[in-house]
Amino acid sequence: MKNDFRQEWEDSYERLENTLFYPGEEVVRFVNRYIRRRTGPTSYSKEFDSKPVFLDLGSGAGRHLVFLQENGFFPIGLELSAEACRQAQALMSSRGIGEDDYRIINASSVNLDLPVESVDYAMSVSVLDSMPTATAVRTLQLLHACLKPGALLYADLISQHSCREGVIDDSMDQIVSEHHEAGTVQSYYDQEKIDRVFTGFDLIRQELHTRVNANGELLEARWHLVARNRQ
């Protein structure tokens, strides 16, 4: 496939297609189940000695950066779209979060350049399936290097059961033809592809969530993964 689709994502964020303000339910569940649970307005099931570094891969307009910062983490957002970065900075500012309390990097995931073993946790929400497979493979290699040994990663991926109409190449990659996210790439995942792309990680949770209509017809199918960085 061609480039990193930077302009297509700029256009999408300028159309406010992915300008969201609330954290995803599965992200909240991941943090509460695998890291620490919030037990009150200002209390948690365990205390941090220092703020863990949490990388949001494809941080978009900043909804998860806000959630992470407000729950005791130091969030780092890696985002391809400059417009999305501007929206995220505006959101953080609107919540009274200072620039010293987070970091946003405007770059492609294949240019992820954080110090080795410097990141405690990571997430990828609707991101690894919005890039060519080859890009995802390289991204996971770089992520493996910057995560601490044993660090946890949450990721969700669109399943091969949710394929759109149109041409899909041998890597299960497809150019989006609909108006929403037009011209970007959609990359579908089956079990074989998950195992291949997530080399360097051990899957400790893997679920396929499906959504159907009243007639039992499939509307959407997405993988939800929790993976541990292999030592």
Give residue-wise pLDDT tens across range 14-29. 999 989 999 999 999 9
Residue 210 pLDDT greater than 80, yes or no: yes
| CB-CB contact of 221 with 161 (8 Å) | yes
pLDDT at 181: 76
pLDDT at 172: 85
Tokens of 205: 């949770």
| CB-CB contact of 222 with 161 (8 Å) | no
pLDDT at 91: 98
pLDDT at 169: 80
Residue 34 pLDDT greater than 90, yes or no: yes
How sure is the predictor about 2, in pLDDT bands with cuts at 50, 70 and 90?
Answer: low
pLDDT at 176: 82
Quote the pTM value. Answer: 0.94
What CA–CA distance (Å, rounded) separates 154 from 27?
A: 8
DSSP-derived secondary structure for 124-159: ESS-TTSS-HHHHHHHHHHHHHHEEEEEEEEEEEEB
User: Which class does domain 6-33+51-229 fall in?
Assistant: alpha beta
Beta-carbon contacts of 99 under 8 Å, excluding residues fewer than 6 positions away, are 92
Minimum mean pLDDT among 9-13, 93-97, 176-180, 194-198: which range?
A: 176-180
Query: What's the mean pLDDT in 103-124?
Result: 98
pLDDT by residue (tens digit) across 46-64? 999 999 999 999 999 999 9
The mean predicted confidence, pLDDT, of the chain is 94
Burial 190-208 (b: 16+ CB within 10 A, else e): eeebbeebbeebeeeeeee
Residue 208 pLDDT greater than 60, yes or no: yes
Residue 1 pLDDT greater than 70, yes or no: no
The domain spans of the chain are: 6-33+51-229
How sure is the predictor about 157, in pLDDT bands with cuts at 50, 70 and 90?
Answer: very high
Q: Which residue has the higher pLDDT, 149 or 176?
A: 149
pLDDT at 3: 66
AA identity, residue 168:
I
Q: Which residue has tokens 């660090």?
A: 151
Residue 171 pLDDT greater than 90, yes or no: no
